[in-house]
Structure 1
């Protein structure tokens, strides 16, 4: 690192106010920006998917088996929020990349706050998930809602209390600001080496060690090499009794086992940082390449958590991930109906005595039917052949869904009335050749009523 600017503090130490990047450092920090952007996109995407699932299942009553309604879901969402804060804090490096140097200003202070919240938050929520899994799988007890709310309030309050306590209690004029330039970006200043270890590194290492111990106990319990009687543990060389999950269902047991992967992943992620920090405390000079590698692995925490969640089997119901739900009406059942025949009473003219009206009303037929107009009956077309005076009534789609009403009326045509004006019969007779006048009725037998030609008035 070269081209640094610093001021001398009252206690005789130097405070960095500007650190310029070399070409190699500029490229390395740019690469960290890309990794941070990937984690940001992954975490935001998973949070959106979980929110969509929770919204689509909001009407599912008395269903406690959904992931979004479990305690571990609330803890996991808190872990994702810390991963999101970590990605945002790392993206502040874009300002230093653009300016070519790290500057001690308000943006530097903001980056330091974001980074410490992310470090403490990921450590705290990871160990909470491990403890919750231990409580379910080893102790076989299901926490109540009061435990959930108490844990959430205490967890976030503890994170902000730790972050605020540094500048509120330890920040002095002699040592400069608590959050300042630290290496190639901003974090806890170099003048606060002990608070940096106790308020950040120590919490991360304790969380990783606790997760390692809890995972070992859970592994032995699931194999049957350990039994629990109250809080007393008994270990066996050969597998004995395994957890039955009597206090919760198999779905909760499966989710708890899958969520156990996240504490394991956290232990692996912070391992490079732990190695580099212990090496530096022993006097080893950590190179820039080693620093970028450790920071890259740590920034991939968001991507790793998202990947592990996506590989878990059926944590979120597939139907709850649909953006738009289109409802399609269910088809109504097909009902068979019988044809009804209504005979028309004879009128004064015997010509209409045989006239009938046949009406068929229903929801359709699954095959053709024969309607006998003369007899007023209906029969199956597959067994009764059609004859004269029959009409085939069939559904062209074999089965129809929408209500269908078929009305069939058959009548003999009534001839139109012809009124012969009162005129000389001889004149009318001349218009219709061959007709013989009937002097009594005034009608002509040979008048073509369907021709459309009618006698005209003179």
Structure 2
């Protein structure tokens, strides 16, 4: 049976209007939460550009956009805002009790398509960046030029996707009424898949395919070794146990890494949760099945929460994405000890530690905020300021000054010094 042209007016029953009202509320949160956070980040970046001109303030204490990840995150927030705005436009249909064709309907359909594909490609950019950094130990260049080029190509591609469909079919009911809102009409099933759903599912599939080996690598089942420090392909080996390099750490570091790994797996999971139900109901509708409005409302509500989910997820699991004031330097943050010729233990000159959390026997750093702000194996032992972390044979556990166990560690070491002196 050939698809029917969309109606000019579609009346919404009272019970469906109530469900659509909940979708509007979720879309409002997914519009204004990413928008507010995006404005805050851009404001912080603008403020940084002014403060960084002060020669008395080190650039390391004012540099908010420290990695390419920040630019990809801005792109995700922008796409979430557009996607949420497309859903928030349902407010008109709720207020008037029907969906009508026209310019407003066309605008909603276009915004929904731009937002959906924009979110998918932005999440994909974050996933690929994370995989390259954590799995292959890739060091992104300090210049943001690469991230800007990637995002420019992404958004040019999105613009092309929307423009092609509308340019070819815009005057022939390309965007129109599709149930409780407006989108690409049933007259163009190929365009529905090729210009939107294919990219949503490609991003979801690549998320899963990349995060699984990433989890195994950080867990120690997959070991990536760069035999040539000047380049070349890395060597990948597999282990049946989890006693890999990533787990040769003190117990508290293992627990922290496990927590981070678990949170990492929530990225593709949350994305799948938001798009899977909607995709199922829409494909059922494409096939001519009658989808209950309760299922449509539930899936639409879940999909409309995508923006607020992303804001909560990324700001809680990647705190280094948010601007923050660096703690003031302390006169004595980390102490080094050496054994003298007489057999006593002496305190060497204190030094200012870098942003690394651990420099272990393997010569690997954990948690370099310059790149990802999370736990990951690193193949160099160099701080962002250019200082060497020390001898790779030395195990040096550095924590933030406000950590709970810092005082006890220092007290025990000072106690041993006093005891040796006696």
TM-score band by shorter chain is 0.5 to 0.7
Aligned positions of 1:218-367 closer than 5 A: 218-228=214-224, 230=233, 233-242=236-245, 261-280=266-285, 284-312=289-317, 314-315=319-320, 316-319=322-325
For 2:197 and 2:74, the matched residues in 1 are separated by 23
For 1:317 and 1:15, the matched residues in 2 are separated by 47
Find the counterpart in structure 2 of residue 92 from structure 1. Answer: 89
Find the counterpart in structure 2 of residue 331 from structure 1. Answer: none
For 1:157 and 1:275, the matched residues in 2 are separated by 29
1:367-426 CA-partner distances (Å, limit 9, x unpaired): xxxxxxxxxxxxxxxxxxxxxxxxxxxxxxxxxxxxxxxxxxxxxxxxxxxxxxxxxxxx
For 2:70 and 2:265, the matched residues in 1 are separated by 13
The one of 181, 194, 208 aligned to 1:198: 194
For 1:279 and 1:62, the matched residues in 2 are separated by 55
SS at match of 2:73: helix
Find the counterpart in structure 2 of residue 131 from structure 1. Answer: 128
Find the counterpart in structure 2 of residue 157 from structure 1. Answer: 156
Structure whose residues are more often strand by fraction: 1
TM-score for the superposition, normalised by structure 2:
0.64
For 2:12 and 2:208, the matched residues in 1 are separated by 38
User: Would you say 1:79 and 2:79 are equivalent positions?
Assistant: no
For 1:119 and 1:139, the matched residues in 2 are separated by 30
User: Would you say 1:36 and 2:32 are equivalent positions?
Assistant: no
Contact 2:64 2:324 in 1 (8 A): no
For 1:139 and 1:150, the matched residues in 2 are separated by 21
1:208-267 CA-partner distances (Å, limit 9, x unpaired): 1110111101100101111235266432211354369xxxxx9xx99x977775444212
Alignment CA distance shift 1:238-1:47 (3 Å): same
Superposed structure 1 runs of 4+ greater than 6 Å apart: 256-260
1:349-381 CA-partner distances (Å, limit 9, x unpaired): xxxxxxxxxxxxxxxxxxxxxxxxxxxxxxxxx
Contact 1:212 1:267 in 2 (8 A): no
SS at match of 2:159: helix
Contact 2:41 2:323 in 1 (8 A): no
Aligned positions of 1:445-456 closer than 5 A: none
Bigger Cα Rg = 1
Contact 1:21 1:100 in 2 (8 A): yes
The one of 98, 107, 111 aligned to 1:110: 107
For 1:87 and 1:172, the matched residues in 2 are separated by 23
Find the counterpart in structure 2 of residue 216 from structure 1. Answer: 212
Alignment CA distance shift 1:57-1:99 (3 Å): same
For 1:203 and 1:231, the matched residues in 2 are separated by 30
Question: How far did 1:22 drift?
Answer: 1.0
Tell me: higher relative CO, structure 1 or 2? Use CA pairs within 8 A at least 6 residues apart: 2
Aligned positions of 1:140-151 closer than 5 A: 140-144=137-141, 145=143, 146-151=145-150
SS at match of 1:227: strand
Question: How far did 1:206 drift?
Answer: 1.2
For 1:233 and 1:282, the matched residues in 2 are separated by 45
User: Would you say 1:181 and 2:172 are equivalent positions?
Assistant: no
Alignment CA distance shift 1:232-1:184 (3 Å): farther
Contact 1:28 1:292 in 2 (8 A): yes
Paired residues, what number?
299
Alignment CA distance shift 1:172-1:310 (3 Å): closer
For 1:204 and 1:20, the matched residues in 2 are separated by 30
Segments of 5+ residues of structure 2 without an aligned counterpart are 53-57, 226-232, 248-252, 327-422
Contact 1:76 1:125 in 2 (8 A): yes
Aligned positions of 1:16-31 closer than 5 A: 16-31=7-22
Contact 2:24 2:88 in 1 (8 A): yes
Alignment CA distance shift 1:181-1:78 (3 Å): same
Find the counterpart in structure 2 of residue 402 from structure 1. Answer: none
Contact 1:79 1:126 in 2 (8 A): yes
Segments of 5+ residues of structure 1 without an aligned counterpart are 1-10, 245-249, 321-458
For 2:243 and 2:185, the matched residues in 1 are separated by 53
Find the counterpart in structure 2 of residue 47 from structure 1. Answer: 38
